[in-house]
Structure 1
């Protein structure tokens, strides 16, 4: 068996028990990385992903951590590095998806959304760079709603995902001297439990894409894997849409 692109690397994927996060964790393992994933509550789903990663021949660990809990989140980063001896790749995937009319999105919803979607990626990145050697990778999962918000009720969510653009650019500038790249992937409609391709609003959502279909989670994971690997070493500060043309 030949060398794989990420052999010897350790990756942490937040929210890696389902959907895009699980697909990213599996793809990074297939490319040779050992993977730690966090999950909020579903230990069974997380354990299933761990077993699938181990089936590829890589090491894997699931850590329970609510990304809104700053201490738990930071501890999960430190545990990932401590367990496998290093940390090369951080994927900020965990997200809060709270949408609804403005009058229903009050302080509690705003605090939760900003804690998970903005503060957590920042704090996880801050913790990760303490462990990363030169040439590390930070990749955050944004949303097509940062580029186009055609439906009502998404103001809070779109605001949180748009904030990641500024974070990505700022960290890319700061960490560039160390060869650490920082990038943002904006998925479009993706076939997950939270937004199934056969859901009640799927036809309307699909109509906004140029390709006329939803993505599969592995299609998003493929771009993350490119950014995480050696072929992505000269891409930093970028926001890359994997949205089937939703924002064109």
Structure 2
């Protein structure tokens, strides 16, 4: 069963590049109108110009700013635009020993990776439920185990995974499709921010693979609460469950030390 997105309006955060931009392209190809949110207005305008045959609303916004989500919702109400789908993709990671991290940078990371996801999900939840739409929160493979040198990022994505799976359970009989999407290393600008070391040498997949996995999963008659991108990554998660917490932390410490 393929979801018919014609007549839908999906808000995509972090839409200026990478996975967010690819979500916008693929959803537009399937007929969805879009609300594109990110800080870089020029990138959003360029993407909007690329998308044909659908209505695209560009709303530049720094989601870490106080009152940003409230202001975004007010602007959509002012324009009489109802949201039927939400892709919480915006986020970034920091890399390095926790003791050496800048506390303001960590606050911003938590604000974008956790707080904005919760606030956006709550703000638009009634509209999503009413429309029997979709809610996708982008987590990460880092959500499944402790990640030394990315302690805050891994913990933030673990939060997103747990939070989203709980929402899936709460709404699975209401017609709202909720999915936590966990990519591994992806060819995006993520590593421009976090640093090349954060990839730990993993092979990167294109954003197209990540988005295809998400939309194909949502098309299922009874989608799971979460999906990791790639069979090898799903196998790694399954094998990781055989380790106790001590072992997992030691193993991941060895991986990130390389």
C-alpha RMSD of matched pairs (Å): 2.6
Unaligned runs of 5+ in 1: 207-212
From 205, 208, 219, the equivalent of 1:215 is: 205
The residue that corresponds to 1:209 in the other structure is none
Mapping 1:20-169, distance limit 5 Å = 20-40=19-39, 42-53=40-51, 55=52, 57-80=53-76, 83=79, 85-132=81-128, 133-148=130-145, 152-169=148-165
From 226, 234, 240, the equivalent of 2:222 is: 234
The residue that corresponds to 2:232 in the other structure is 245
Q: From the superposition, tell whether residues 157 and 203 of structure 1 become closer, same or farther in structure 2 (CA, over 3 Å).
A: closer
1:232 is displaced (CA, Å) by 3.7
1:153 is displaced (CA, Å) by 1.1
1:234 is displaced (CA, Å) by 2.1
The residue that corresponds to 2:245 in the other structure is none
TM-score, with normalisation over the residues of structure 2? 0.79
Query: Alpha-carbon deviations, 1:181-221, whole Å to 9, x = none?
Result: 2210001111113338xx96599522xxxxxx421111111
Unaligned runs of 5+ in 2: 237-258
Of residues 19-28 and 102-111 in structure 1, the stretch that sits farther from structure 2 once superposed is: 102-111
Aligned mates of 1:105, 1:201 — CA distance in 2: 15
Q: From the superposition, tell whether residues 44 and 195 of structure 1 become closer, same or farther in structure 2 (CA, over 3 Å).
A: same
Q: From the superposition, tell whether residues 66 and 203 of structure 1 become closer, same or farther in structure 2 (CA, over 3 Å).
A: closer
Q: Report if aligned partners of 2:106, 2:152 keep a CA contact under 8 Å in 1.
A: yes
TM-score, with normalisation over the residues of structure 1? 0.82
| Number of residue equivalences | 231
Q: From the superposition, tell whether residues 173 and 61 of structure 1 become closer, same or farther in structure 2 (CA, over 3 Å).
A: same
